[in-house]
Amino acid sequence: MECRSWPKLLVIIILLVFLSGNTICQNIEVPFKADSIACDTFPPPLWLDAMISNYVVHLWWLAPELEITDSYNYLLDAIRPENLLRYNLYLNEEFIDSISYCCEDTSHYYDTMDIWYPPGYIEYHVSAVYDLAPCGFTDSTAESSLEGPLSIGFPEAFILAFIEDWNTASFYPNHWIADEYWYADGPYGHPPPCATYSNFPDSAYQQSLVSWWIDCMNQPTGDTTYVIGDFYLEFEIKLNHLPMSGTDYLDVKISDSLNWHVVEQFSTESGSFGWELHTINITEWAKGNLVRINFTAHGEDGANIQDWYLDNIRIYRKCNPPRDLHWVVFDEVMAWSPPLPHTTDKGTPVKELQGYRVYYNITPLAITTDTFHIIDTPFGYGPYYVLAVYEDCEPVSNYIYGPQQIEENKTDPEVYIYPNPADEQITISAQKFISSVKVTDVHGKQLIRSEPHKKQCIIDTQGIADGIYIIQLSIGNDNVSRKIIIQH
């Protein structure tokens, strides 16, 4: 009896295990199939990144992922949305391009930097754009939030004065961008090396050499901007050319941060020429801007051109100095001409000259608004010079030297000029006959001339403005100069 009961017991045990197993399986949650259409949330692209090579920005990013979670917000899966249409790319918060999505995990974009980004930082963002037709909204799209920013930095602009003499025999230290047929080495230059264009194939061509940014906005000593002065581009150029075709050119261009402007053009029409220095006033485009220089060789047939050479390139600011400083009366009166006017700044009148500083060596002698100075105290040999005082520059005049006083001739006649200062007239008396009297201003402009031929004469000064004047007398064989002050 006991042996026969075992099979029944075994069947009961197996049945219980089977029923228990079914119960366990029924309690397990099976993940549902994830919905891959983005209708409620619109995930952005992932991991925007970039690298720069030869001033081309290579950008890439990963496709967005739609997160699938359970009722407890536990992440079950992350899948690519099927209604992803394209990506929108932004530079400095401005839309620059749309890139179609074509089922790739990673998307790539090459920004060729046609606008040559200025110094500092730029920022890229990218977003995902979704088709809402599967969500019941025909002809509608939705854009995700932005991925980024991705910041890219560029070198600072060069300060003035900018000088490129190619002493490194390379374009890289000063960030020049050179097309294929420009070189920065070789045995040529003034002195060697220099930048050379040559050896283009037999076809139409255009080859450029472009500088990095140069700051014509801010002075190098701080954040103050340039107020007064003109800006110049200076360079030396040479042409080695066999046929005089006249169909090959070298354009010199300046960028004013927005556009390129041709400021000079050289041609092969007259054939080869040796080193020439050219100076161009570029104030119109440079002042208040970041600028670049562009030398572009172009023509109909590369076989016609042999070599263009460029050397000693400079951009600098210049304030116009006082001109023609000279002695009017040796060691006593110096005079000068005002500076030439500066180029008008884009319709804004140039600020006026504030005055002059007169110096002996490093010793200040006077601050004046006149264009002459009387030296009251004798000084040494010099130099004497004058600074023009503007708001943000003080250019210096030429130098003059003394003492240049001619030793007095003991036989010089005694001359009396009175009153001094004078008002309406002056009286001149001498021990000999006065052949001629000439009154000039301190710049030598003749105001009065008289030939009295007597020992005393009277000169009418009513029509002469207040100031300092020079009286030059011819008395016998002697010439005498005296200062006189007119004060009405």
- Coil, strand or helix at 234: strand
What H or E segment, with its residue span, contains residue 15? Answer: helix 2-27
For 1, 459, 483, the CA distances from 450, given in Å and listed in that order, are 170, 8, 17
Tokens of 60: 């890439």
The pLDDT value given to residue 348: 57
Query: Quick check: 455 pLDDT over 70?
Result: yes
- The average pLDDT across 239-243 equals 77
N-terminal to C-terminal alpha carbon distance within the chain: 158
The pLDDT value given to residue 34: 47
The pLDDT value given to residue 30: 36
CA-to-CA distance for 481 and 328, rounded, in angstroms? 10
The pLDDT > 90 percentage for the chain reads 40
The pLDDT value given to residue 409: 42
The pLDDT value given to residue 144: 95
- 22 vs 403 pLDDT, higher one: 403
Query: Quick check: 349 pLDDT over 70?
Result: no
Tokens of 254: 């300046």
Query: Quick check: 376 pLDDT over 80?
Result: no
> Could you tell me the pLDDT band of residue 401, with boundaries at 50, 70 and 90?
confident
On whether the pTM is more than 0.85, the answer is no
Q: Reduced to 3 DSSP states, what percent helix, strand and coil does the chain have, rounded to the nearest 5? A: 5, 50, 45
- The average pLDDT across 257-271 equals 89
- Whether the CB-CB separation of 64 and 157 falls below 8 Å is answered with no
Residue range 130-142, pLDDT digits in tens: 999 999 999 999 9
Domain 162-318 part of CATH 3.40.50.1370: no
CA-to-CA distance for 5 and 21, rounded, in angstroms? 25
Mean residue pLDDT of the chain comes to: 83
> Could you tell me the pLDDT band of residue 384, with boundaries at 50, 70 and 90?
very high
CA-to-CA distance for 356 and 367, rounded, in angstroms? 6
Query: Quick check: 129 pLDDT over 90?
Result: yes
The pLDDT > 70 percentage for the chain reads 84
Residue range 36-83, pLDDT digits in tens: 898 988 999 999 999 887 668 899 999 999 887 666 666 667 889 999
- Whether the CB-CB separation of 337 and 353 falls below 8 Å is answered with no
**Eight-class DSSP state of 222:** S
**Eight-class DSSP state of 286:** H
CA-to-CA distance for 469 and 486, rounded, in angstroms? 8
| Domains 46-154 and 162-318 equal at CATH topology level | no
CA 286 to chain centre: 6
- Whether the CB-CB separation of 290 and 213 falls below 8 Å is answered with yes
The pLDDT value given to residue 446: 86
Least-confidence region, from 100-109, 182-191, 250-259, 314-323: 182-191
- The average pLDDT across 191-205 equals 85
CA 267 to chain centre: 27
Residue range 19-34, pLDDT digits in tens: 444 443 344 343 434 4
Domain 323-389 part of CATH 3.40.50: no
Which one, of 214, 195, 213, lies nearest residue 312 by Cα? 195
CATH fold of 415-486: Immunoglobulin-like (2.60.40)
Query: Quick check: 302 pLDDT over 70?
Result: yes
Identify the sign of the CA torsion 306, 312, 318, 321. Answer: negative
Domain ranges of the chain: 46-154, 162-318, 323-389, 415-486
What H or E segment, with its residue span, contains residue 14? Answer: helix 2-27
Which one, of 418, 449, 419, lies nearest residue 434 by Cα? 449
The pLDDT value given to residue 24: 39
Which one, of 13, 101, 115, lies nearest residue 62 by Cα? 101
CA-to-CA distance for 31 and 29, rounded, in angstroms? 6
Query: Quick check: 412 pLDDT over 70?
Result: no
The pLDDT value given to residue 322: 95
CATH architecture of the domain with range 46-154: Sandwich (2.60)
CA-to-CA distance for 30 and 23, rounded, in angstroms? 14
Provide the CB-side half-sphere exposure for 432 (13 A, CA): 14
- Whether the CB-CB separation of 170 and 178 falls below 8 Å is answered with no
> Could you tell me the pLDDT band of residue 321, with boundaries at 50, 70 and 90?
very high
Strand partners, 237: 276, 310
- The average pLDDT across 332-358 equals 80
CA-to-CA distance for 380 and 402, rounded, in angstroms? 7
